[in-house]
């Protein structure tokens, strides 16, 4: 099927009157079917109660001596940006200084502002660049904000709406990549040109620092403020998995950091840190993909190729992430998708290593935050499927961790247990998955089961607290399953690369293997097995529809890619060619068409019931994917429901109320189809 023979091409017109009339008609059908029952309303209220709970942990970021948080609740649906002190944060009821009230700002300006974050100027943190999105889109406006006066700076740095990249160089200079006009964006819609913009200059007068290629993903420039090792860099993102890093001199000269393009490189004080994605031969040694390597930055620039191995992967372990404190490195390591944290300290003759103590052994480390330019503070957020988030604070090099905040339990987890199993994929690969189920589950295939996965972009799915699924699904007798299929990062780059491009079907074989294993174990059966996936996970479940429809009783497909023939022509799609392939290259289309659900869908093929969810304002994955697939399936007589939030961005929701509505739709749909 090409653009000339696609009868639903008109649905790609995001704001077209005909397309939006179709959307509103589908939304009305779905609401009438699912959203007008007392059960739906109960689930919506329960989900909103969780999202708006004032007992949630305020997730904080330290800036100087203050802890900043962005907070949403029932009274502040768009949110408050606020800060407090450590002493106050330790108390049950911290006193917060409100810096910006987004609800008040939106009302004053007549805009549906959604928070996109803030970049604050070190070391005094008095000025910030704030990003605000209209309705949750990836594109945002940027404004300078004065933390002392708690107001926007008149005649300060401002950028119009675009997918801009920006950051401080000094108090009077920022680096900016944005839409400077024709030719300034890559084919993916991100900045191709980065400039140095001085206060008082017109944007068009800013000095160009670097120009990338049209086929690059994006370019960026940034200032590293590590005390004593201040440097400026330019990063050229060729695609998702290849890049170049340049040291930017005061005279504007660029020095390429000599590492492979498949490696990620960065500086931490005196150290150059490198993580190659594939095997790397240098300095007479061979280093595996997924390792973390260190060299002295200045020595490396001078030609010394001595590297220290800080982490080396095994068959079961992978480096999930790393960050630095002033004097240490903090490594988050996965071992069969279970977490541990290690502290590495450079010493004379090598690096000292120890496992971070004072954290619960069974917890998943969801997030590690450090203050590399300030001191050795570490903040760790730990949780599990049945264990609510706990926020810990400690100091690298010191013993013990303090539990700063404990999230409430939103459902009674005492009757449930977590199991990890391994399914054998079609090629024999051992694929892990987690099952959250009642302790007394009858293994007779009768349990309603929700299976989810992702399998792309080297993103791992880790065990995490699931309050919504707990209250809306588990407490009502359901089973929740997370599949750690290839394409993700659960076992590092090799796990991801095993499902790249022409190997993408390996991810789908893995997911099908998990579904079959669930049935074989008696945990569920086909009529009671539902699946859910979003974005790349939407492509996953879309392929389950066309490749393995006989394995599932219902499908929830959210903000998905589905038309792989045209995905590069829709919004940010061109940026994912390294992941999927290029449909305009005949050799690539030969394999791409084997996992393009929109093209693979055929008349007469029986499919399970499907609920599609997307957003009009999603400027990352085009809503046309979901619209066209739904329209094609409806014309074929399939059981299809469709809901498109008119705002919300790639998350399909711009606030807690919209998220609660979507979650209630999903669970009402699954309850109806799987019982």
| Residues with active-site annotation | 535, 650
Long-range contacts of 348-356 (CB under 8 A, 24+ apart): 350/308, 351/294, 351/308, 351/310, 356/330, 356/380, 356/394, 356/401
Beta bridge partners of 224: 231
| Contact by Cβ (8 Å): 611, 582 | no
DSSP 401-466: -EEEEEPPPSS--TTEEEEEEEEE-TT--EEEEEEEEETT---SS-S-EEEE----TT--------
Q: How many CA atoms lie within 13 A of 179 on its CB side?
A: 14
Return the residue matching tokens 């359901």.
478
Return the residue matching tokens 């404004």.
143
**557: helix, coil or strand?**
strand
Determine the angle formed by the axes of helices 536-547 and 624-635, rounding to 10 degrees: 20
**Distance (Å, whole) CA 117 – CA 79:** 12
What sections of 37-96 are H helices per DSSP? 38-51, 86-89
Long-range contacts of 108-115 (CB under 8 A, 24+ apart): 112/78, 112/647, 112/654, 113/78, 114/78, 114/649, 114/654, 114/655, 115/70, 115/78, 115/79, 115/81
Return the DSSP state at 182. T
Q: How many CB atoms lie within 10 A of CB 340?
A: 17
Q: Which residues contact 427 (CB under 8 A, 6 or more apart)?
A: 506, 509
Q: Are strands 66-73 and 308-311 parallel, antiparallel or unpaired?
A: unpaired
Beta bridge partners of 483: 433
Beta bridge partners of 391: 381, 405
**Distance (Å, whole) CA 416 – CA 204:** 60
**Distance (Å, whole) CA 58 – CA 72:** 10
Q: How many CA atoms lie within 13 A of 516 on its CB side?
A: 15
Q: What share of the chain is helix, strand, coil (3-state, %, to 5)?
A: 25, 35, 40
DSSP 196-226: EEETTS-GGGSEEEEE--TTSSEEEEEEE--
Q: Is the peptide bond before 123 cis (omega within 30 degrees of 0)?
A: yes
Q: Which residues contact 343 (CB under 8 A, 6 or more apart)?
A: 328, 329, 330, 331, 353, 354, 355, 356, 396, 397
Cα 529–495–555 angle (5° rounding)? 20
| Contact by Cβ (8 Å): 206, 195 | yes
Nearest to 80 by CA among 64, 91, 90, 94: 94
Residue 571 tokens, joined: 């919004």
């Amino acid at each position: 099927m090409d653009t000339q023979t696609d009868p639903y091409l008109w649905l790609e017109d995001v704001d077209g009157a005909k397309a939006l009339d179709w959307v509103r008609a589908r939304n009305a059908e779905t609401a009438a079917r699912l959203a007008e029952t007392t059960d739906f309303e109960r689930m919506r209220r329960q989900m909103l109660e969780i999202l708006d709970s004032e007992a949630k942990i305020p997730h904080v970021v330290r800036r100087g001596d203050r802890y900043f948080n962005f907070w949403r609740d029932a009274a502040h649906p768009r949110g408050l940006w606020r800060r407090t002190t450590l002493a106050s944060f330790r108390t049950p009821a911290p006193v917060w200084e409100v810096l910006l009230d987004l609800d008040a700002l939106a009302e004053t300006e007549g805009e549906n502002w959604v928070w996109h974050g803030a970049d604050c100027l070190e070391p005094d943190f008095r000025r910030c660049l704030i990003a605000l999105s209209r309705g949750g889109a990836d594109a945002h406006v940027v404004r300078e904000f004065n933390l002392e006066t708690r107001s926007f700076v008149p005649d300060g740095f401002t950028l119009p709406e675009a997918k801009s990249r920006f950051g401080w160089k000094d108090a009077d200079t920022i680096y900016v990549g944005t839409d400077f006009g024709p030719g300034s964006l890559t084919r993916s819609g991100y900045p191709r040109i980065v400039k140095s913009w001085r206060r008082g200059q017109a944007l068009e007068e800013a000095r160009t620092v670097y120009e990338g290629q049209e086929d690059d993903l994006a370019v960026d420039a940034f200032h590293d403020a590590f005390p004593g090792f201040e440097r400026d860099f330019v990063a050229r993102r060729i695609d998702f998995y290849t890049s170049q890093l340049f040291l930017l001199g005061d005279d504007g000269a660029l020095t390429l950091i000599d590492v492979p393009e498949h490696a990620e490189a960065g500086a931490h004080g005196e150290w150059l840190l490198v993580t190659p994605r594939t095997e790397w031969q240098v300095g007479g040694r061979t280093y595996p993909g997924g390792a973390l390597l260190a060299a002295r930055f200045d020595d490396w620039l001078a030609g010394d190729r001595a590297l220290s191995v800080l982490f080396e992967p095994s068959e079961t372990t992978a480096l999930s992430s790393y960050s630095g404190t002033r004097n240490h490195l903090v490594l988050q390591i996965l071992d069969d998708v279970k977490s541990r944290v290690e502290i590495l300290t450079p010493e004379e003759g090598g690096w000292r290593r120890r496992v971070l103590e004072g954290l619960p052994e069974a917890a998943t480390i969801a997030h590690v935050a450090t203050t590399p330019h300030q001191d050795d503070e570490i903040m760790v957020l730990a949780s599990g499927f049945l264990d609510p988030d706990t926020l810990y604070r400690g100091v690298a090099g010191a013993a013990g961790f303090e539990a700063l905040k404990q999230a409430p339990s939103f459902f009674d987890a005492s009757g449930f247990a977590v199991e990890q199993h391994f399914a054998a994929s079609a090629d024999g690969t051992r694929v892990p998955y987690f099952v959250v189920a009642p302790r007394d589950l009858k293994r007779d295939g009768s349990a309603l089961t929700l299976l989810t996965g992702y399998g792309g972009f080297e993103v791992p799915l880790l065990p995490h607290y699931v309050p919504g699924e707990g209250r809306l699904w588990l407490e009502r007798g359901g089973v929740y399953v997370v599949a750690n299929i290839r394409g993700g990062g659960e076992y590092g780059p090799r796990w991801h690369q095993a499902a790249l491009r022409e190997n993408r079907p390996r991810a789908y074989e893995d997911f099908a293997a998990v579904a079959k294993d669930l049935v074989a174990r008696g945990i569920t059966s086909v009529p009671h097995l539902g699946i859910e996936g979003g974005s790349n996970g939407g492509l996953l479940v879309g392929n389950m529809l066309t490749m393995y429809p006989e394995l599932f009783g219902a499908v929830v497909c959210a903000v998905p890619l589905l038309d792989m023939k045209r995905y590069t022509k829709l919004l940010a799609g061109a940026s994912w060619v390294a992941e999927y392939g290029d449909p305009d290259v005949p050799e690539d289309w030969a394999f791409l068409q084997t996992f393009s659900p929109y093209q693979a869908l055929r008349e007469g093929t029986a499919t399970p019931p499907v609920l599609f969810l997307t957003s009009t304002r999603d400027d990352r994955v085009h809503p046309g994917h979901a619209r066209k697939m739904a329209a094609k399936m409806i014309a074929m007589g399939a059981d299809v429901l469709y809901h498109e939030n008119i705002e919300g961005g790639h998350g399909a929701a711009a606030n807690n109320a919209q998220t609660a509505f979507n979650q209630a739709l999903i669970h009402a749909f699954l309850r109806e189809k799987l019982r």
